[in-house]
Homo-oligomer: A and B are copies of this chain.
Amino acid sequence: MAGSIYGTLFRLSTWGESHGDGIGVVVDGCPAGLPLTEEAVQQYLNRRKPGQTRYSTPRRENDTVSILSGVFEGRTTGTPISMLVKNESQRSSDYSEIAGYYRPGHADYTMDQKYGFRDYRGGGRTSARETIGRVAGGAVASKLLEELGISVCAYTRSIGPVSINYKNCSKENIEKSPLRMPDLHASEQAEELLEKTMKEQDSLGGIIECIVSGVPAGIGEPVFDKLDACLAHAVLSIGATKGIEFGAGFDAAAMRGSEDNDGFTADACGHVRKTSNNAGGILGGMSDGSEIIFRTAFKPTPSISREQQTVNKAGEPITVSVRGRHDPIVVPRAVVVVESMAAVAIADLMMCSMSSRLDRMKDFFGKTK
């Protein structure tokens, strides 16, 4: 399958390897008339960029985006938006030795099995640089959602065993914390743990939580393209993710129906609202008008300089220590990647939902004639 294309009506086609000429994305299906500038996209990319803190690779990559098509006089034209980020800081020699063996926790072995050989330089297409295309595309989706009154906000919920305490959280803290934790006390604890882990030549994982506000009720296409199913597809396609849960998630499995069920009520204007949100904003695979909440687990960075046992291509046992410039934790930089994939999935499903009712179609086309 052509696996580098996502979406039905709002589509990303991403490309690029760690050590090729660049990384990019084509966004196809974005509606015409959306204000879009390189600066706006760059802001999203800057949140993903390495070198922001000492907890990310010291590689200097500006990751400057160029919009090559699809925008005219500051607005999208409805035609494909091609965006390009040139690769700058590659040192291919760093990686040459990994061509011959399989790094634990990496896709070296599976790539070789699937394709017969691989571009081993910096992990090639399996490098985290691949997410640049996702973030540039996600920036466009986020801008579109913003125009429709929808916001997507993700943050670090935990790093290793250190979790945030909701009592200490504020949205403003997220960008203040080098780890993107909305609880600055937890952030400090996590930083200490990271320092210790780095000294031990090891790495950590964590959990990202994402909240989407303002999605109208009824988005998601049962029975296979439910909102949660599509969000899961989009988010779990990000490298290093190991799971996703919505609302009460895995905890719901241990609840009783009377606890888990969210009651319905009506607000002063007669709008139907829920009295709790164990559902995470999704009922029967469709948005229910409340906040959409999900969490996704990231495994620890597999690239560690500590010695590990593996085999080379000949099947001979060897000991390796993964060198190069690697993040001891991917979670803080992945926050904007999670937001991006959520935005893309929701933008796509919103477009797909526009033909769900004849009365709305008649109204829509009645005006275009």
Given contacts A1-B8, A13-B13, A223-B14, contact A82 B24 (CB under 8 A): yes
**Which one of A53-61, A164-172, A180-188, A310-318 is at the interface?**
A310-318
Q: Which of A152-208 contact B (CB under 8 A)?
A: 158, 160-161, 197, 202-207
Interface of A is mostly: mixed
Which single member of B17, B246, B248 contacts A69 (CB below 8 Å)?
Answer: B17
Given contacts A69-B16, A236-B229, are A358 and B33 in contact (CB under 8 A)? yes
Q: Let me know if A225 and B1 touch, CB within 8 A.
A: yes
- The answer, among B119, B249, B259, B275, for a CB contact under 8 Å with A77, is B119
Instruction: Quote the shortest CB–CB distance from A313 to chain B (angstroms).
Output: 9
A258 contacts partner chain B, Cβ-Cβ < 8 Å: yes
Closest CB in chain B relative to A21 CB, distance in Å: 4
A37–B8 CA distance with the chains assembled, in angstroms:
31
Evaluate contact between B353 and A114: CB separation under 8 angstroms: yes
The answer to whether A3 and B365 touch (CB under 8 A), given A77-B119, A115-B356, A304-B257, is: no
19 contacts between A and B (CB under 8 A): A2-B11, A2-B221, A3-B29, A3-B224, A15-B70, A15-B81, A20-B69, A32-B357, A33-B115, A33-B117, A78-B115, A115-B218, A207-B250, A236-B244, A242-B245, A244-B244, A252-B299, A259-B300, A350-B355
Q: Which residues of chain B are near A32, meaning CB under 8 Å?
A: 114-117, 356-358
Report how far A161 CA is from B32 CA in the complex, Å: 41
* A144 CB within 8 Å of chain B: yes
Using Cβ atoms and an 8 Å threshold, which residues of chain B touch A226? 3, 236-237
Q: A232-B232, A272-B102 are in contact. Are A124 and B253 (CB under 8 A)?
A: no
- Residue A80 lies at the interface, judged by CB distance under 8 Å to chain B: yes
A111 adjacent to chain B (CB < 8 Å): yes
Q: State which residues 213-230 of A face B: CB under 8 Å.
A: 216-226, 228-230
Q: Which of A3, A232, A308, A356 is packed against the most chain B CB atoms within 10 Å?
A: A3
* A1 contacts across to B, CB distance below 8 A: 8-9, 29, 221, 225, 349, 352-353
Assembly CA distance A270 to B317 (angstroms):
11
Determine the chain B residues whose CB is within 8 A of the CB of A291 once the complex forms.
Answer: none
Question: Is there a chain B Cβ closer than 8 Å to A301's Cβ?
Answer: yes
A7 to chain B, nearest CB (A): 7
